[in-house]
């Protein structure tokens, strides 16, 4: 009986340890689910890039890319977005150190760079519309506005997300849930940087050489 009781008492302890270890290894499915979302978003952009590549020569007698694109403006926009990626990285470093005020400051700076990016992009679009280069003008322009506009909408959504995170961090601090959300937002924001580098190279630089 004594040996039997000892065995019975040990078994629950053994299984509790296993359950705790298992829970530690799989803390939350959030990051995995967000990676799946990012991959689907990347596929959307890949489709838009492919569509633009097919339609870039379908200009219907209208203006060509080299006649429309202003590389200094695009270079400024590229610099704003790349710097915003650095400032977001600074926010994450402060988050790891538990510096709430630093996180809020760098998030605000990142949002300002994002707003500047969207503002410059809207300025570019306004100039194109003023020149009559609208999406209805040609298949090339339709593909251009769809690709660049979709990226701009993603940046706008990212700015709103940053604002939401600033409110949550200021109210609840750097709790594990907020740290996880900041990580997801960081992956999203850096993906937009990667996509924009593709836009800058494939659309603007190659377009200026045509």
Three-class DSSP category at 23: helix
Q: How far apart are CA 27 and CA 74, in angstroms?
A: 42
Domains and CATH numbers, the chain: 28-209 (1.20.120.80)
pLDDT digits (tens, 9 = 90+) for 9-32: 444 433 333 334 333 334 567 788
Closest CA to 206 of 83, 46, 49: 49
DSSP 70: -
Q: Which residues of 21-59 are buried (b: 16+ CB within 10 A; e: fewer)?
A: eeeeeeeeeeeeebeeeeeebeeebeebbeebeebbeeb
Res 73: pLDDT: 94
The rounded Cα 36 to chain-centroid distance in angstroms is 14
| C-alpha atoms less than 13 angstroms from C-alpha of 116 in its C-beta half-sphere | 18
Positions of the chain with pLDDT under 70: 1-28
Helix or strand or coil: residue 52?
helix
Q: Which pLDDT tens digit goes with each residue over 169-206?
A: 999 999 999 999 999 999 999 999 999 999 999 999 99
What is the Cα 140 distance to its own chain's centre? 25
CB atoms under 10 Å from CB of 197, counted, come to 13
Task: Enter the tokens of residue 152.
Answer: 């701009």
Rounded CA separation 69/210 (Å): 11
């Amino acid at each position: 009986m004594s040996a039997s009781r000892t065995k019975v008492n040990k078994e629950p302890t053994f299984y509790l340890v296993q359950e705790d270890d298992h829970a530690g290894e799989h803390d939350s499915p959030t990051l995995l689910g967000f990676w799946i979302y990012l991959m689907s978003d990347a596929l959307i952009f890949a489709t838009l890039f492919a569509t633009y590549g097919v339609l870039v020569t379908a200009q219907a007698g209208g203006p060509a890319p080299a006649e429309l694109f202003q590389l200094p403006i695009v270079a400024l926009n590229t610099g704003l977005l790349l710097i915003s990626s650095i400032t977001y990285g600074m926010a994450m470093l402060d988050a790891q150190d538990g510096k709430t005020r630093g996180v809020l400051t760098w998030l605000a700076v990142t949002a300002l760079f994002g707003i500047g990016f969207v503002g410059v992009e809207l300025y570019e679009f306004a100039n194109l519309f003023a020149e009559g280069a609208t999406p209805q003008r040609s298949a090339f322009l339709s593909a251009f506005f769809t690709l660049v506009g979709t990226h701009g909408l993603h940046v706008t959504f990212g700015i709103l997300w940053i604002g939401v995170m600033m409110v949550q961090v200021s109210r609840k601090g750097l709790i594990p849930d907020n740290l996880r959300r900041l990580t997801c937002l960081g992956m999203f924001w850096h993906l937009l940087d990667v996509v924009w580098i593709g836009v800058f190279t494939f659309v603007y630089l190659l377009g200026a050489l045509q």
